[in-house]
Homo-oligomer: A and B are copies of this chain.
Amino acid sequence: MSRRGQPNVSTPERRQVILAAALACFDEFGVAATTVDQIRDQARCSIGSLYHHFGGKEGVASALFIEGISDLNAGLLLRLEACASAEEGVRTVVLHYADWVSRQPQLARFLLHSREIHFAPEAKSELKAIYQRHFGAVFSWFGRFVLRGEMKQLPPETYIPIISGPIEDYARLWLSGRTRTPLAEVAEVFAEAAWNAVRAR
């Protein structure tokens, strides 16, 4: 029943250290196979600290996921706002994804394997809100071009798979090491294919 416990680290950035450590572990072992102790080792913090800040492994994963998806989304919206035409927009969606995945491969792999994460209810609803806001903005940006007849009229739920599906599929391939050709080298091919698939003729 005797305890100790005197703080030996001050770090206001403790949260970030833990998130980075967790990402490295999730990437190496998978979310399910990563143990709280592995994250703690990597982050060089105490178990208690991890629980204090995130409430457990799932809490860390949720926070990481939300941070990652937010960064990916925010970056896209920023670039999209600078686009002037439908073609530029479509290409930007593909190229931004390729850029982002190239720059953050670990985070990208983590986002692509989200099904392993058991989000807490609050995290779930937060995510839902994030998705709604993001896709709302994206669809509203592209909507006018469909109305103007510059893009094909398709079932709404097929636009994203048609535009992003191929680059995402290739990203999976590259991230898993089954192909070595960098995304940057083939991104143009996918951008071109995407525009061809949705442009009005």
- Dominant SS at the A interface? helix
Residue contact B170 to A165, C-beta cutoff 8 Å: yes
A106 to chain B, nearest CB (A): 14
A113 at the A/B interface (Cβ < 8 Å)? yes
Q: Give the number of chain A interface residues (Cβ < 8 Å).
A: 33
A30 at the A/B interface (Cβ < 8 Å)? yes
A193 to chain B, nearest CB (A): 4
How many copies are assembled? 4
Which one of B116, B155, B160, B181 contacts A169 once the chains associate, using CB atoms below 8 Å? B160
Residue contact A190 to B166, C-beta cutoff 8 Å: no
Indicate whether A169 sits within 8 Å of B170 (C-beta atoms), given known contacts A53-B1, A155-B181, A162-B193: no
**Which chain B residue lies CB-closest to A172?**
B161
Residue contact B155 to A166, C-beta cutoff 8 Å: no
A87 at the A/B interface (Cβ < 8 Å)? no
Residue contact B115 to A30, C-beta cutoff 8 Å: yes
Please, how many angstroms separate the alpha-carbon atoms of A74 and B97 in the complex?
Answer: 33
Binary per-residue interface labels of chain A (182-198) against chain B in the complex, 1 for a CB within 8 Å, 0 otherwise? 00011001100100110
A191 to chain B, nearest CB (A): 11
A16 at the A/B interface (Cβ < 8 Å)? no
- For A181, the chain B residues whose CB sits under 8 A away are 155, 157
